[in-house]
Chain A
Amino acid sequence: MLLTVDGVEKSYKKGGMFSTKSQLVLKSISFECKDGECLGIIGESGSGKSTLGRLILGIEKPDQGKVLFDGKSVEDRNIRAGSISAVFQDYKSSINPFFTVEDAIMEPLTNSFKDDKENQFRVDTLLNQVGLTPAFKNKYPHELSGGEVQRVCIARAISIEPSCIVLDEAISSLDVSVQMQILTLLKKLKGIYNMSYIFITHDLQAAAYLCDRVIIFKEGQIEETVSIEQLKDVQSDYAKKLLQSLITF
């Protein structure tokens, strides 16, 4: 089992310094993600799915429960290095404005692989793989379009050949035609690298396109887990409502 989330709870303090009120964002979440599986986490905004993403990435610590990667806690950054990676939603702030495309991709690379010459070569290959050219290397993020930045972010995420990538609303801020391109790209890359994806989104259609299994998330709890083939036969009321509210073209 690649990633195990076991009884995770998280709450945030409400109000000021001396306030004891807190809001429970995640309530005893448990699920597993297998090697090479694409797991979708679907929920409306405020349902705590991005918080779950941060916990999986080890950026924040859960109040209770464990997030284990290959049986080891993700809170240790040496466990994370080289095996877990992420793509985020906001393409405007996802690359340091002081970094060129090359610097951005090199950052996780130099952390995992020490050979500098080989890394240079890797950057070119990666850029080709995500549908850009090596000519982009010396550009700054503000000179790129949203779709291009997101491609660079994907290149950066797969550069260390991780076994798991968390995609936190990775396509949500792009326009529809670009969304489709990125989804196809993600599917292609999954074939090449055999990574598992944790695809956090509110977009059921995108999840259906990419994922093998989806977790439907509501108010910090898992409402239902269903494989994509059986998406039509969901049991819970919320999942049914979610499916019905889809705008079909």
Chain B
Amino acid sequence: MKFLKSISQDKIAAISFIVIVLTMIIGTFAPLFSPHDPNGVNMGLRYAPPSLEFLLGNDHLGRCILSRIIFGIRPSILWVLGALVISVLIGAVLGFLAGYFRGKVDAIIMRICDIMLSFPGYVMTLAIIGILGIGLGNILIAFIIVKWAWFARVIRTSVMQYSELEYVKFAKSVGISNLTIIRKHLIPVTFADIAVISSSSIGSMILQISGFSFLGLGIQAPNAEWGMMLNEARGVMFTSPELMLAPGLAIILVVSAFNFLADSLQIILNPKLSRTIKPKKNSPFSKIKNQEKEVAG
């Protein structure tokens, strides 16, 4: 509740949050929201401009673009988000173990990460898809396998930096358990870092999924996916460029919503920064003072 309250005070955060939640709801209940069958071919309506019946127009096979966008949310956003959450979780658990306990645990986990990171990401993903077979599920598994090491690395560094601080030392010396220290002291301060790296990688993951779909390794042809829609529109880029608008804008909108939200979350969750956002009095003096603080912060 406190979270929702503070998010409503920050306009950009509120808008991004609403965009993300709406996208997820629409994606989950896609059949209820989409006006037409996303795979229904109607050759009479090829490249038709937007009309009352087809709000975003029709594509090269006369399919309803709006319905395809709505159905595309599932693979493009929901499944990618799921894969991201799993790989961040794996990375966070290992990163916390390595960064907090150090020593041998750290050495072992980091050497495994080194091995994972020594292969180029795309090649590794392709190899895993080659082994497991084509399909969205396998791409997501490949993503998780390739990405966790990177998250573990970044989170470990962040944890290390904070676990040396004196309030952690104090908590240790008065005999508070390691689990409580991690939960109360380290997760809140490292959360900002985790939010930023996850939000920046969700953009690249969405684009990668569409890249694989383009290669024919991901989503199979009639099913809708934003990246694949972009690729389909690419063929007629010069004759009807408006086909690229809908999926392109959708990707931009969602990716930037995630980025803005992560940015604002940092400020909202950090008492040092959040206090300076809302001026206590409306006098011009207090405003100037607050601006100074923001710059200094």
A residues adjacent to B (C-beta < 8 A): 17, 54, 57-59, 77-82, 84-86, 88-90, 93-99, 104, 107-108, 111-112, 140, 142-143, 153, 156-157, 160, 166
Partner of B170, one of A81, A140, A156: A156
Take A17-B107, A93-B166 as given contacts and tell me if A140 and B176 are in contact as well, using a CB distance cutoff of 8 Å: no
Query: Closest B-chain residue to A98, C-beta based?
Result: B188
A3 CB, nearest partner CB in chain B, Å: 13
Query: Are the C-beta atoms of A77 and B177 separated by less than 8 Å?
Result: yes
B interface: dominant SS: helix
Question: B234 interface residue, CB < 8 Å from A?
Answer: no
Cβ of A57: which chain B residues have Cβ within 8 Å of it? 169, 172-173
Add 15 more A-B contacts to A17-B107, A98-B188 (CB < 8 A).
Answer: A59-B169, A77-B172, A77-B175, A79-B175, A80-B173, A80-B175, A81-B175, A84-B174, A93-B166, A96-B167, A96-B189, A104-B167, A107-B184, A142-B271, A143-B275
Query: Are the C-beta atoms of B169 and A88 separated by less than 8 Å?
Result: yes
* Number of residue pairs spanning A and B whose beta carbons lie under 8 angstroms apart: 83
Count of B interface residues, CB-CB < 8 Å: 22
Query: Closest A-chain residue to B165, C-beta based?
Result: A93
A89 to B175, CA, bound (A): 20
Cβ of A86: which chain B residues have Cβ within 8 Å of it? 169-170, 173-174
Query: Closest A-chain residue to B276, C-beta based?
Result: A142
Take A97-B271, A140-B271, A140-B272 as given contacts and tell me if A59 and B167 are in contact as well, using a CB distance cutoff of 8 Å: no
Query: Are the C-beta atoms of B176 and A108 separated by less than 8 Å?
Result: yes
A223 CB, nearest partner CB in chain B, Å: 26
Partner of A85, one of B166, B167, B173: B173
Take A80-B173, A111-B176 as given contacts and tell me if A142 and B166 are in contact as well, using a CB distance cutoff of 8 Å: no
For residues 175 through 198 of chain B, which have their beta carbon under 8 Å from a beta carbon of chain A?
A: 175-177, 184-185, 188-189
